[in-house]
A and B are shown apart, each in its own frame.
Chain A
Amino acid sequence: MEFLTQPWPWYVAGPIIGLFVPLLYWAGNKPMGISSSLRHTCAACVPANIPFFKYDWKAQGGWNMLFVLGVTIGGFIGGYLFANPDPIALSESTVQDLTALGITSFEGFIPKDLFSFDMILTPVGFIVMVLGGFLVGFGARYAGGCTSGHAISGISALQTASIMATIGFFAGGLIMTHLIFPLIF
């Protein structure tokens, strides 16, 4: 029971996450990935005659849609039913840095100072939630994959493309955190 509510250390979670690469190949010859499900959703709901969304999304992406449905259920089981009652054990220096940026709430998975329905129309809330989300979707498709498809699954298959994309992901995150965050917070 404790194992289910407590956070898992990196040396437990890391190998299990890595095993999803062979598990999905074994289960149905699928390269693991998440962000394609966003494309399939667009293709299913608003294809608008755009060539990028004109394909048989059910045949190509049906499995991926079911997989992300599962991820949502997994979040419910792990983050709601068996939620960790304690705040995340962040490093002291991270708490200090984020406090300096104006973050006051360190409970749960996301800072309530930034993520709330009241914040959507404030400049900071809009940038974090709306612009941030937009860039995640736009960037993932532009780069041809996200952290799962490139950093985990692609690098596992030793793809040069995925190594380049992952360097881009990290460079972008570092620029945003160190150069742009001080300007927007």
Chain B
Amino acid sequence: MNAIKYILLGTGFGFVLTKAEVISWFRIQEMFRFQDFHMFGIIGVAIVVGIISVQIIKRFELKAADGEKINIPDKDPTQVKRYMIGGLLFGFGWALTGACPGPLFALIGSGLFIIIVPLIAALAGTWVYGLLQQKLPH
């Protein structure tokens, strides 16, 4: 039952990403060239809806479906280097492949099997990060 729940939610998420054309290499280029409002509109509105939702969850101490209190984790803001360097490197990859991790999966689902190549490369990147983690500045 739990498994089906997450698969269904993922399916919904992948479907919206696809219909929004967020998974398009061309749309990502359009965004980084500031030539259309589409991507900024999507990310901006998603963040506004997210912020309002999280505020409602916190103010009213809402519970999850299983009755547990919803716990919104904090991320350590002191590791400035990791966010700046890691963020920059991710941004390079985002512009090159035109896809962040979610779209990689949705693109493969849409039948573009060539995207298995950047996905395997992303797994390799993840693995190399794990290997070097303790030597990298964070």
Contacts and interface: CB of A to CB of B under 8 A. Distances in A.
Contacts of A131: 93, 96, 121
Contacts of A35: 100-101, 126
Contacts of B38: 9-10
B88 A172 contact: yes
Interface in B85-129: 85-102, 104-112, 114-115, 117-129
A74 B51 contact: no
Contact of A139 (B10, B93, B112, B114): B93
Interface string A145-185: 11110111111111111101111111111111110110000
A117 B126 CA distance: 23
A29 B54 CA distance: 12
Nearest to A43: B130
Contacts of A150: 87
Chain B interface size range: 35 or more
Chain A residues touching B, range? 35 or more
16 contacts: A6-B19, A10-B41, A37-B101, A72-B106, A74-B10, A76-B109, A78-B19, A109-B107, A132-B95, A136-B104, A137-B126, A143-B82, A144-B86, A168-B85, A173-B94, A176-B96
Interface of A: 4, 6-11, 13-29, 31, 34-35, 37-39, 41-42, 46, 48, 50-53, 63-64, 66-80, 83, 88, 90-91, 93-94, 97-98, 106, 108-111, 114-117, 120, 127-148, 150-162, 164-178, 180-181
Given A19-B53, A76-B109, A176-B94, 16 more contacts: A11-B41, A14-B45, A17-B17, A22-B50, A28-B64, A48-B127, A70-B8, A73-B109, A76-B111, A78-B106, A129-B97, A155-B47, A166-B87, A168-B87, A175-B92, A178-B33
